[in-house]
Amino acid sequence: MMNAAVLAGIVFVAFALGYRFYSKFLARRIFALGADELAPAREFEDGIDYVPTRRSILWGHHFASIAGAAPIVGPAIAVIWGWLPALVWVCLGTLFMGATHDFAALVISARHRGRSMGEIAGDVISPRVKTLFLVIISLLVWVVLAVFAYIIATLFVSTPSSIFPINVQIIVAVTLGWLTYRHGIPILVPSLVGYAVLLVAIFYGEAFANAFPAIREISVLTWVWVLLIYSFIASVLPVWLLLQPRDFLNSHQLVTGLTLLIAGLFVLQPAVVAPALNLEPEGAPSLFPFLFVTIA
């Protein structure tokens, strides 16, 4: 059986080489990036949506925004066709398709006043394409919002102890954003303090649920509406007040979790028990195209 740590090491090397060489090729030869280009956040700074941001905060914001449940659940399901196709697609698909696509979208958006791909398509192709593009994007966003709202609502109902720390995180994030952008305090130390507060809040989650037993009676549907209202409020608030500091805090949790997982992987060096190839799993569709849909 294959050693999981060896596989992880191979993928880490591939990602490092891709970041070192392929991303440089894209930046210099394809997108011709230059240090003199003015970012939309500086050119159109308004303190709401266009906000100049430190690279560390921006990294945390992007990392937490994209590192959701799908990149974890998808590969776990795709192992039904064997670990080899899933691993190859995660590795090469990320390097030459996923990361390249996101890099390209970021550059194109930055060069068009930070607008979305749908709006840019209207300028480049036609207004009709813009309308079609925005309709498709809206439908996809609605689906994602509905699924995520349902998942979190189900979590609140099945595990009421999760309600307290999640709400504490909102308060901590707003405080962090206010301290950073209104008082000019460097974000690192307050974010670490906020992270510690979140860890403590996790341990008091059950006590909070017991102190307010009424929250155990709230239905999934009610929580879905609460979460959708929260999503609307978060989307219209200045990005520096909630979204950026919240995602920066989330990145601390993600980095901690990934560090522990990777350390455990290399210390324990577990064997991969799944077959390398299983092209005809019982009760499952064919590998093509469903592997590439499952690991999106």
The stretch 160-182 carries a mean pLDDT of 92
User: Which are the contacts of 80, defined by CB distance < 8 A and separation ≥ 6?
Assistant: 278, 281, 284
How would you class 235 by CB atoms within 10 Å of its CB: exposed for 0-12, middle for 13-18, buried for 19 or more?
exposed
> Do the beta carbons of residue 61 and residue 248 sit within 8 Å?
yes
Output DSSP code: residue 266.
H
The model carries a pTM of 0.81
What percentage of the chain has pLDDT greater than the value 90?
Answer: 38
SS3 42: helix
Output DSSP code: residue 116.
-
39-48 pLDDT tens trace: 888 888 888 8
Q: Tokens 């309308």, residue?
A: 131
Task: Give residue 27's pLDDT.
Answer: 93
Output DSSP code: residue 29.
I
> One-letter amino acid identity for 161?
S
183-220 pLDDT tens trace: 888 888 999 999 999 999 999 999 999 899 889 889 99
Task: Give residue 232's pLDDT.
Answer: 92
pLDDT category at 68 given cuts 50, 70, 90 is: low
| φ, ψ at 3 (rounded to 5°) | -80, 125
Q: Name the β-bridge partners of 3.
A: 271
71 vs 37, more confident: 37
Give 3-state DSSP helix, strand, coil % of the chain, rounded to 5.
Answer: 75, 0, 25
pLDDT category at 30 given cuts 50, 70, 90 is: very high
Which H helix or E strand runs over 152?
helix 127-158
Closest residue by Cα to residue 144 from 78, 258, 221, 66: 66
Query: Which two three-digit tokens encode residue 70?
Result: 């799908």
242-294 pLDDT tens trace: 988 998 998 888 889 889 989 999 999 998 888 888 888 887 788 888 888 88
Task: Give residue 41's pLDDT.
Answer: 87
46-62 pLDDT tens trace: 888 888 888 888 888 88
Tell whether the model's pLDDT for residue 70 goes beyond 80. no
Distance (Å, rounded) from C-alpha 132 to C-alpha 129?
5
User: How far is CA 96 from each of CA 69, 90, 91, 100, rounded to the nearest angstrom?
Assistant: 22, 10, 9, 6
Handedness of CA 183, 184, 190, 194 (dihedral sign): positive
Q: Tokens 């979590």, residue?
A: 155
> One-letter amino acid identity for 242?
L
Which range (88-92, 151-155, 289-293) has the least confidence?
289-293
> Do the beta carbons of residue 53 and residue 41 sit within 8 Å?
yes
